[in-house]
Amino acid sequence: MARIAIVGTGGTFAMEARHPFDWVEYGESGIVRPIADLLEGATAGLDVALAPVDFRALGSTGITPADWLDLARLVQGIEADGCVITHGTATLEETAFFLSLVHGGDMPVVLTGAQRPANTAGSDALANLRAALAVAAAPQARGLGVLVVIDNLIFAARDVTKDSSGALDAFVAGEFGPLGRVEADGSISLRRAVPRTQLPVDLGEAIAGGASGLPRVDIAYSYAGADGAAIEAFVSAGARGIVSAGLLPGRPANGEAPALAAAAEQGVIVVQATRGARGNVVSQAFLDRAGVLAGGDLSPQKLRIVVMLVLALGGDAATLSAVLQAI
């Protein structure tokens, strides 16, 4: 029997709706249930023993890097065959990616959530939880790091993103697709391997100390006519890094470019990303001239996490460049 720790962090999964079709404004009820109250029926057909662990009750729009640090340290101390974390879906992909960069060891860590509260019609909460438990307990999942399981699909934390507000199949993995699926009997089918990346630095060291936060890194979103006002404000607010969510194929608006270059000149790490769902920013002469790094195919929100962790370790632009090439 697999021993699975299950960590509740709140989110839609734990919220109690006001009526069976309260699929949007359920937060108005003000009721967030502890994870131990939400487990009935989740282990049907699975050979698992659950150990519920309450972390804190958060709406995922309210989670912060300080919460990520605390959650990572909590997971680091868990001794079990696997760990499932229930999480609000709005920032689930960011928490999963953060944990994937700092989690060590072979214990699978699986994040899941719900698009509809457990007490509403057609809720996906119980099915998603059972699927996540099945993956966390599966021998095939050992050594795969941090995974996301939603709608019976298994995703790599690096690839997954949420692309719908209300659909039950709201999570996708862009061009690369899911790793596999969870079958009705609780078995899992893996069709794609997760590459184990050897990073030039150990990002897990960022959670080893007692720090309560991570360095400030902001995202500047590009659009027609954008200027440098937001970028200059981020620098004034103490940003140590800025990710430019640029126009496809990965360029800032003309009005933003001087501000980004000026920020880089002042020692702020600047990374060029794209706002496109299938964007890929490669090294280019104009980036090199401005002192800006190419962000590859990571989304702006995931690039921000990498930059924060590298800065937390005392790394510089060269360190970040090496990490980005390896991820």
* Secondary structure of residue 57 in the 3-state scheme: strand
- The answer to whether 12 is a known catalytic residue is yes
Give the Cα separation of 94 and 100 in Å (integer): 10
How does DSSP classify residue 176?
T
Q: Helix (H, G, I), strand (E, B), or coil: what is residue 103?
A: coil
Contact 295, 217 (CB under 8 A): no
Pairing of strands 48-58, 171-172: unpaired
- Helix spans in 44-124 (H): 65-76, 92-102
Q: Three-state DSSP class for 18?
A: coil
The two three-digit tokens of residue 283, written as one number: 């090294």
Burial class (CB in 10 A: 0-12, 13-18, 19+), 33: middle
The token pair that represents 211 in the structure block? 């720090």
> What are the E-state strand segments in 20-134?
48-58, 82-86, 109-112
> Do the beta carbons of residue 127 and residue 100 sit within 8 Å?
no
- Closest listed residue to residue 307, CA positions, set 324, 292, 290, 291: 324
- Asked whether the CA dihedral 181, 182, 184, 187 is positive or negative, the reply is positive
Greatest Cα pair distance in the chain: 60
Q: From the candidates 9, 12, 86, 91, which is the catalytic residue?
A: 12
Find how far residue 9's CA is from the centre of its chain: 14
CA gap 183, 103 in Å, rounded:
27
Q: What is the DSSP code (8-state) at residue 247?
A: B
Catalytic positions, written as ranges: 12
